[in-house]
Structure 1
Amino acid sequence: MTDPVAVSLRRLTLSDFRNYENASISLNSRMVAFVGNNGAGKTNILEAISFLSAGRGLRRAMLSEVARHAHTGAWAVSALIDGAYGETRLGTGLNAGDQSRKVRIDGEDARSSEALLEYLRVLWLVPSMDGLFTGSAGDRRKFLDRLVLSLNPSHGKTVTEFERALRQRNRLLSEGGTAAFLDAIEAQVAELGTAVSLARNETVSLLSAKLKAQAELGLPFPTAEIHLEGAFETATIGLGASDREDCYRELLREGRFRDKAAGRTLDGPHRSDLGVLHVDKHVPAALASTGEQKALLIGIILAHADLTTAISGMTPVLLLDEVAAHLDPGRRAALFSRLQAMGPQVFMTGTDVNLFKDLPEDAQIFEVADGLINPL
């Protein structure tokens, strides 16, 4: 078995990004921490790194909102990385007046942000995800699709096309489209929806195996059991791709009158949910304590990082925003030890430097204040 490629950022440069006019950080460690007061801009650094991947970044902000000068909307993030192709320069940003961000790889324009996934897989855990288990099914679907994307770079495009096809069907229903037109669009919805569903199911299956293996390591984090649930999942359980597509097409045809009255499509993987169980207590994660939910989420992210390494053949970059502050010293030390053993490059934030005293000796710790980033 070939060892995975160790991918890491060696230099990060920000221009007019959030509160940073110009900032450049030299990196030589796989464990990096940013320390500073609330509002100093620590999370902004992690957000900048998250834009070196596909999608809208860890805050899912409007592109113009991350610019330092609102009137221009322009910003840029670049990084020098070591990875599967040796030393590579990745860059992304928004030009004044543009609606979509540009991506450049070694100075050449890329067609889309999905091209970055060939060089770098970025995963994250941020405070806004703390309510994942008690929040909406839509939030959990977005979370799951992000997990799928790190394993299957084409998944984001498929989800986007599926959602577009659903909107077209809804519009046809509301405008009284002919049966022939509805048959055509429903065939497209069924094909794309089936691809989305199968990709999610595969990721859940693989991640479940990783979670079970992780439980055997004796980490001080509760074990999560995950599964997909919903009417569509129940209707298509055990079906292969072709039969699942046929089933979905029939559900859509039978549901036209109902969906027209509702103003939306009521059947499909766009309504599925990610179920999470606290194994030790055998209760849904939503009923666990706040601390247990946080620990469950950490366990899922660790298992997913391990799975990403195994599937992609390269170690991911992991962004952990304000995670250490919510763990007792024992769990914090165990987390750092596990991250070091797994091998991803990890970027963390915290308000107190003492939170990171158990990091390895070669870890880098930076102080963030007044738009400046200085090594401690």
Structure 2
Amino acid sequence: FGEPNLEELAIPQALARILSQDQTLLADYRRMLAFYAKLSNPANCLSLADIQNIRSLNLDAVKRLAKRKQVAHTTVAIFPPSTSKEGLLFEKLFPLGVPPDVNLMKELVKRLRSGEVDLKPKADSGWYEYQVYALETLLLPEKGAERDKLLLTKKFKERMLGAFKALVTKRRETHARMMEAHVRALAAPPPPLEINVAPRLRVEPAPTYYLRTARAYAFLANFLESAIGKDALDHLHGLKKDGERTTSLHAELLWMRDLFYGLYMISAEDIGMKTRFSSDEAVDQDRCYRIAVAWLDKATDDPDLAADTRVAVPITVDVTRGVTRVWLTLGVRLTKLDTKYVLPPSIKQAKGEGDWKPVASHKLHSANYLIPVDEFAEVELKGRRVLNREELQAICDKEKTKEAILDFLRK
């Protein structure tokens, strides 16, 4: 993006003039822009609808209009790409292009930790912003309601950082066409009163992530219901690699919402934290809890978890140097999660009368889990090229290791 010249403005001006002559077409165009602004994120430049009433289109007029519309770029597009907080940050930090030795993910993480970048969605935010906001406490666990219930080791914080990087990449890849350039732990049953006590984690201890993800799905379901109607959603189906999904889009969105509400309650229960829902959040807690428990019992049979999620998404293009900066997820590996009680919990008999009693320190034991984690990487590709999923997956299968994959991609 840069300032357009007068010749570049001639085409959008001519198209805007055609739009202004057909009010039905103009209305459809506006509805489409509004739809994608919520489905993905607000536009980062002007659209044809924005300029259709300007008689004399020039650079000054475009600048004034861009300022009034509060878009990031003083240019015009037929289908304006969506903005993102990481994209705006990188443009601010590197207006002349990204230096070869800069790691963009590190820059994003640093600004999130300092508070310079705030992931909280705004009134005009789209689904992408809600999705990324759900990931915030993976990077900043102190912002989660569970902060007083968990004492996280350095290793686990590093694991959460890796999860943040990979999940941001996957969320962005889902929206790539619109953007500019649970894991189940194998858990032991609840311990009886008189035996050794160890932490029981049925999911990773990140309740705020689950809650915010549920709210992101609720946002999307509510938006689509208002935009195209519940009846239409009941007749639409999502897509997978080999065709349409069997369940309707509406049913799947509501199920995903309720699943993550349930995972939130399970995660909170595991660490002894009270759940909290906002006053306007109508959550059927018993139903959501049952859905999550049932899913965890058969999670390894879920075909969606067997899908290959190795993806590549472009972040910046440096025309001068002729390179494209890309974020990648290269596969899934198992890592060890060690847990123990810092403060002894209190327990009582599950049935019958009895008081809560703290567990004696000699009865406290640690618990160890193996959890799958995504492998994230950032690399520069020569030229203005983008890898689709199939191309990246073929390279990963051939080169095997992270180092070999990155060496191949740099060639």
Q: TM-score, normalised by structure 1?
A: 0.26
Kindly indicate which of the two structures has a greater share of residues assigned to strand.
Answer: 1
Q: TM-score, normalised by structure 2?
A: 0.25
| Highest RCO, 1 vs 2 (Cα 8 Å, sep ≥ 6) | 1
Q: Which has the higher Rg, Structure 1 or Structure 2?
A: 2
